[in-house]
A and B are shown apart, each in its own frame.
Chain A
Amino acid sequence: MAVSTLERSAGSRPEQQRSGRLRRLPLGRWGLRGVALVYLGAMVAPPAVAVVTRGFGHGFASLRDAMAVPGAAAAIRLTLITAALAAVINGAFGTLLAYILVRLRFPGRAILNTVVDLPFAVPTLVTGVMLVALYGPNSPVGGFLKRHGVQVIFATPGILLAVLFVTLPLVVRAVEPVLLELDRSEEEAAHVLGAGGWTTFRRVVLPAIRPAVAAGALLTFARAIGEFGSLVIVSGNITGRTLTAPVFIFQLTSQFKGDEAAAVSTVLFAISFALVLLTERLTRRRGDEFS
């Protein structure tokens, strides 16, 4: 959000004043910096180093061995595929919902705005239980679908539904603030010049919100890769078929295969870290992906 505001303020404030700002806060500049860096360093570095060094226990060989563990490659592949699908689907519908929330006035808009945040509040495990309650073999809906040859729970559709549920707010909340800041006169100009609704959206609105959509979709992808709580219920844990990487790591851990678990974790961790860096590049510290 606030891309234009930030640029304005960055332009109008002299560099000297900017660097002096922290000194006017309690603890002073170095005190604050120190507390912030020590806090993040102490919380993030040890677990990251622990997983990576354990994962590389015997160098790259142990990483290769881990990928050779039956089910590891399949689990990572399934995770990446469902996460990519979630990023694309929620990228499209998230943008649509952000557009609806910002540009359309209709009764129940406030309710929709609240409901979109639901996945932030509901525990992910409960999400999984909800999906089993709705689509499980013992429910009317699940029974109906099963009679028509569609299996949702303990199969890929269930995994995708769970991941879509959990990540829905991310794109909406990334795109919404950018749409709010967007100057409507450009759209009106396009309209006056004869562009239809779709052309206006594609040629005027979309270029402006594209970085936000991309950042939201990347975050969706990252979040979907790590999802565990709902999938441990929904996936049915069939090795090689419905086992996603985090659930696979959990299984390895509970079988006391710490080395293999750490190796697969290292692969997953590297992907997450790369995605976070990429998102940061796209938003340049201006997006507030969580609001």
Chain B
Amino acid sequence: MSTRPTAVPARGRLIRAGVLALGLTYVAILLLAPIVGIVWTALKGGPHVVPGPLERADIQHALFRPVIIAAVTVGVPAVLGMVVALVLARDRFFGKRIVSAIVDLPFAVSPVIVGLAAVVLFGRGGWFEAFFAARGIQVIFALPSMILVTIFICIPFVIREVVPVLEELGTEEEDAARTLGASPMQAFIRITLPNMRWALLYGVALSTARALGEIGAVLIVSGAIQGQTETATLYVLRALEERQDAAGYLVALTLAAVSVLVLLGIEVFKRRQAKEMGR
């Protein structure tokens, strides 16, 4: 059978091409076509439609609000997430698996439920309402509750990125540093932190994207007060409800563009991390 050696690779190549085409088609239809859709819809009036809405004060405010929330928020799950990651990767104790599962909970639970919980806790007649009211702090329908729910939602990202890296690294380098006289803090800052920095930044980038685009929890908690607690996503929702489609689509496109920039950051961090882990 002289034809066999050539026939099999040819058939293999055909199957590979088919598999590849199937995968690419799925991604093109599911992910890329909607992007073409929004670019076309937002800009079909020509490029001159862009400046108008983006100069409006309420829209600028709405675009800026999530930036503040993300800036305030992302540090907490990053720093405390590192601590949790260290414990999950290195410690052993009863109930660790449950703790590990709880870390994933904010990712799985609906943001609407998170918002509702915040209302039950801090809203009218809520458990902590009197405490904060007595101190003159407005939690619900104001920035504090928006920040709290965003922190909750961002909990898993840094932890999930850092834990596998810590597990893979082991402790040999730290042990060496300690043997050479480094304090625990020195060993952490000089050895552990640099080793996990790309995973950490990757997690922070994912958290930032999530914080900027959060809608469900923030919608319930913020009251969506125009010019005050209205974020960019909340503005888009209002614009579409009020049939101001052009402005809504434009702000949505702006958000999509920002998220693509964040995505590029995510990819850079991920590649660096993969490189350092020797893939």
Chain A contacts to B: CB under 8 angstroms: 1-2, 5-6, 9, 13, 18-19, 21-29, 32-33, 35-37, 39-40, 43-44, 46-48, 50-51, 54, 93, 96-97, 99-100, 104, 106, 112-127, 129-135, 139, 141, 161, 164-165, 168, 180, 197-198, 219, 222-223, 225-229, 232-233, 245-247, 249-250, 253, 258, 261-262, 265, 268-269, 272-273, 275-277, 279-281, 284-286, 288-291
Q: Which of A27, A126, A139, A268 contacts B256 (CB 8 A)?
A: A126
Q: How far is the CA of A275 from the CA of B104 in the complex (A)?
A: 10
A91 to chain B, nearest CB (A): 13
Q: How far is the CA of A275 from the CA of B256 in the complex (A)?
A: 30
B101/A276 in contact, CB under 8 A = yes
A2/B101 in contact, CB under 8 A = no
A276/B105 in contact, CB under 8 A = yes
State whether A115 and B38 are in contact (beta carbons under 8 Å apart), knowing that A33-B93, A228-B112 are contacts in the complex.
no
Q: How far is the CA of A269 from the CA of B114 in the complex (A)?
A: 10
State whether A222 and B108 are in contact (beta carbons under 8 Å apart), knowing that A120-B263, A134-B38 are contacts in the complex.
yes
19 contacts between A and B (CB under 8 A): A5-B167, A32-B86, A35-B80, A39-B80, A40-B102, A48-B105, A51-B113, A51-B117, A117-B263, A117-B266, A120-B209, A125-B237, A125-B252, A133-B42, A141-B37, A229-B215, A253-B119, A261-B116, A268-B113
Q: Which of B33, B120, B202 contacts A258 (CB 8 A)?
A: B120
Q: How large is the interface on B (under 10, 10 to 19, 20 to 34, 35 or more residues)?
A: 35 or more
Contacting residues, chain A, for B23 (C-beta < 8 A): 93, 96-97, 100, 112
Q: How far is the CA of A193 from the CA of B192 in the complex (A)?
A: 46
Q: Which of B19, B120, B203, B267 contacts A50 (CB 8 A)?
A: B120
Q: Which of B15, B114, B151 contacts A197 (CB 8 A)?
A: B15
State whether A265 and B116 are in contact (beta carbons under 8 Å apart), knowing that A43-B151, A280-B97 are contacts in the complex.
yes
